[in-house]
Structure 1
Amino acid sequence: MTRRFIINGKFLRAPMTGVHRVAAELARGLARLQAARDPAVAGMAFEVWHPHDAREPASLGLPTRLLAPLTHIPWEQLTLPLRKGDATLVNLCNIGPALAADAVTMIHDIQVHQTPDSYSRAFRLWYHAIQPAFARRHRRILTVSHFSAAEIARVGLVPRDRITVIHNGADHVLAEPADPAVVARLGLAPQGFVVALASTQAHKNIGVLLRAFARPELAGLRLALIGGTGREAFVAAGLVPPANVVFTGRVSDAELRALYEGALCLAFPSTTEGFGLPPLEAMTLGCPAIIAPCGALPEVCGDAALAVAPDDVAGWAAAIASLADDPARRAALVARGRAQAARFTWEAAARGLAATLAGL
């Protein structure tokens, strides 16, 4: 008898984020296993159900079904559980319908508890209300690191023995050839810039990089902040970028690859992360990473990244400058990074998800 699993496709209606990337790549991984008739998915059938405003559901490689007319939270909390029948719901983006009991949900982190200032009051209230409601009912909680598993249990959402860890992959960055035109368009020189996230969220801690790049030892380098948040939003948040900061805006996967491959390094000073995908993406493409040793970052990066305390401005400036001044040190870090990143693949993640579902 074939067991049916419905992947909650609500994430397809929003612009791509790290959490949405994980959901998409896990779905694609399951699709590849099915296409290969892999024993890991024997006796299992997967579909992606989505609201009417989803973007490119067919790109996931699985059968899809449109459910109308609702969308967003009402679609997820009402339409999805009321129409799923005897299928098991698979929710991969932090939230699942509280009405469903036959479901598994991936909670990537508990940063609404750890760094509440990173989120709006409405967002915090919603997560504090809905996550305990579905966590108690769903058959299994998934997460992306052992750090996150311990934190989910610590705040009392579910006991640790009800949580399965499935590490993310990073090899999606190899799917698209690089588009190096973005480097020239932004006026950047190869290995003359550092990449980081364009985020004003408190836990992303980009302020420490802005202060580091205002120091004289980094005057000859530029900081390229990747993402849709622009200079005005930083200033409004009290984060004033120095003159050597460039805002890339949103970039395609091909442009992101070119930026990683052209950069001196990635700087990732987060004070907490449930996983921390950008360092692994960078390492996969030969871009060394400097991280704050916080959250899941030590678990994910091992000894393949340089580590600097999240509040050590001088330390961040010195670590970045050391890679510019010592090509041999940078090359050694590149080699360690590639080896570390190779341990994290979406095939392994999809197999882990399939094994968890088969064991329900």
Structure 2
Amino acid sequence: MQRFAREVTRALATMRPVTVVAPPGDLIDADLGAEIVQVGRLSGHAWEQVALPLHLRRSGSPLLLGLANTGPVAYRPQVVTCHDIIWARHPESFARSFRLLYATMTPLLLRRSAHVLTVSPFSRGELVREFGIDPRRITVVANAVSPAFHADGPAHDEGVPYVLAVSSPNRHKNFDALVAAFEAADLTHIHRLLIVGQQARAFHTQATTAAPRTRALGRVDDDELMRLYRGATAFAFPSLYEGFGIPPLEAQRMGTPVLAARSSALPDVLGDSALWVDPHDIDDMRRGLETLDGDPALRADLARRGRENEARFSWEASARRVSDVIDRVMTTRR
């Protein structure tokens, strides 16, 4: 969600005037190409629900564009982005307080918003089924890969060929199953599984079993992440639920073949550009890894299809869709 908010804001600011309203303190992203106004003394959801709407009302009640799943429930006019409803589909991944907050806020925000954005046809269907939202009130604005990600550059050298996996170790990300499949696989070329990701406080961690051929790297910066993508023989994404799923696209831009779970939004995003496996079947994942390991021609074909697939998405195109939504909402208000 942070990457979505950052990249949409940057691209949108080249198309129309944008003001970013932020809480006090150090900014995570200051280079957004837009005016940034820091207001209030609160932080977190208290800032979002109290200080933000108070500032907006004092400023003439402009249209608020929310890009990260939540927003001030009592403020109008507002366009809200709901990336997914994973808290409802996989409650085991979340703290109880987090689930209660989202279960309370999300229906209110969706009902009261002037329009709803989401990131995939799958997520749009989820919102329609779960909350009865009119699909005409929902616009799909896809994620994409950051313009800073380049296929050319240095590659990570692990000393042996490796499979890369990138995500936070939340339970629905299914890393335990991937590790079990990898450790059971009969591999002749690939010798190691590298896992990148760090836990967010809102989630329940999945305690990935220590395994001799698996190495957890924790959080890395984008430069190191690009090196890891470039050096990988393949990329694995075993997640049980995704509203979109950016890491497979990042791997595809780097020319890395992708093995992915046939679940949630991933077929929408990847089409025929990935080797599909059943995320609930460890043996099927094991067979997929063995297939990639033993078939260099397949890896090359998946790399080619992956590059073509990733090129379908761009932050500029997504920001244009957001700009069109803003224009329609503003016209309706007038």
Q: TM-score, normalised by structure 1?
A: 0.84
Q: Secondary structure at the match of 2:31?
A: helix
Q: Quick check: 1:143–1:165 contact (8 Å CA) kept in 2?
A: yes
1:173–1:134 CA distance, 2 compared to 1 (3 A): same
Q: Does 1:221 align with 2:191?
A: yes
Superposition CA RMSD, Å? 2.2
Amino acid at match of 1:49: V
Q: Secondary structure at the match of 1:223?
A: strand
1:38 matched residue in structure 2: none
Q: Quick check: 2:164–2:195 contact (8 Å CA) kept in 1?
A: yes
**Residue 252 of structure 1, aligned match among 221, 231, 235:** 221
1:110 matched residue in structure 2: 85
2:30 matched residue in structure 1: 58
For residues 218-271 of structure 1, give each alpha carbon's deviation from its aligned partner in whole angstroms, at most 9, with x where no partner exists.
4852111101259xx99x845313111111121111111111111111111111
Stretch deviating more after TM superposition (144-153 or 50-59): 50-59
Structure 1's unaligned 5+ residue stretches are: 1-18, 35-40
1:140–1:68 CA distance, 2 compared to 1 (3 A): same
**Cα distance in structure 2, aligned partners of 1:271 and 1:242:** 22
**Cα distance in structure 2, aligned partners of 1:194 and 1:153:** 37
Q: Quick check: 1:171–1:344 contact (8 Å CA) kept in 2?
A: no
Per-residue deviation, 1:169: 1.4
**Cα distance in structure 1, aligned partners of 2:197 and 2:133:** 34
Amino acid at match of 1:104: V
Amino acid at match of 1:22: F
Q: Secondary structure at the match of 1:247?
A: strand
Q: Secondary structure at the match of 1:129?
A: helix
Q: Quick check: 2:154–2:230 contact (8 Å CA) kept in 1?
A: no
1:104–1:143 CA distance, 2 compared to 1 (3 A): same
**Cα distance in structure 2, aligned partners of 1:273 and 1:131:** 18
**Residue 313 of structure 1, aligned match among 269, 282, 289:** 282
For residues 261-290 of structure 1, give each alpha carbon's deviation from its aligned partner in whole angstroms, at most 9, with x where no partner exists.
111111111111101111111111101111
2:306 matched residue in structure 1: 337
**Residue 140 of structure 2, aligned match among 152, 165, 172:** 165
1:241 matched residue in structure 2: 210
Q: Secondary structure at the match of 1:141?
A: strand
**Cα distance in structure 2, aligned partners of 1:74 and 1:64:** 19
Per-residue deviation, 1:59: 1.0
Stretch deviating more after TM superposition (168-177 or 262-271): 168-177
2:50 matched residue in structure 1: 78
**Cα distance in structure 1, aligned partners of 2:30 and 2:76:** 27
Structure 2's unaligned 5+ residue stretches are: 330-334
Per-residue deviation, 1:335: 0.3
Q: Does 1:174 align with 2:149?
A: yes
Per-residue deviation, 1:56: 4.5
**Cα distance in structure 1, aligned partners of 2:167 and 2:313:** 25
Q: Does 1:21 align with 2:38?
A: no
2:238 matched residue in structure 1: 269
Q: Secondary structure at the match of 1:334?
A: helix
Q: Quick check: 2:182–2:289 contact (8 Å CA) kept in 1?
A: no
**Cα distance in structure 2, aligned partners of 1:96 and 1:199:** 24
Per-residue deviation, 1:306: 0.6
**Cα distance in structure 2, aligned partners of 1:249 and 1:239:** 12
**Residue 18 of structure 2, aligned match among 46, 53, 74:** 46
**Residue 211 of structure 1, aligned match among 174, 180, 184:** 180
2:332 matched residue in structure 1: none
Amino acid at match of 1:64: I
Q: Quick check: 1:57–1:64 contact (8 Å CA) kept in 2?
A: no
Amino acid at match of 2:198: G
1:198–1:20 CA distance, 2 compared to 1 (3 A): closer
Q: Does 1:94 align with 2:69?
A: yes
Per-residue deviation, 1:199: 3.5
Per-residue deviation, 1:197: 3.0
2:128 matched residue in structure 1: 153
Stretch deviating more after TM superposition (74-83 or 121-130): 74-83
**Cα distance in structure 2, aligned partners of 1:100 and 1:167:** 26
Amino acid at match of 1:205: N
**Cα distance in structure 1, aligned partners of 2:297 and 2:150:** 29
1:175–1:101 CA distance, 2 compared to 1 (3 A): farther
Per-residue deviation, 1:189: 3.3
Per-residue deviation, 1:318: 2.2
1:295 matched residue in structure 2: 264
**Residue 347 of structure 1, aligned match among 316, 320, 324:** 316
Identity among equivalent positions (%) equals: 37
Q: Quick check: 1:135–1:157 contact (8 Å CA) kept in 2?
A: no
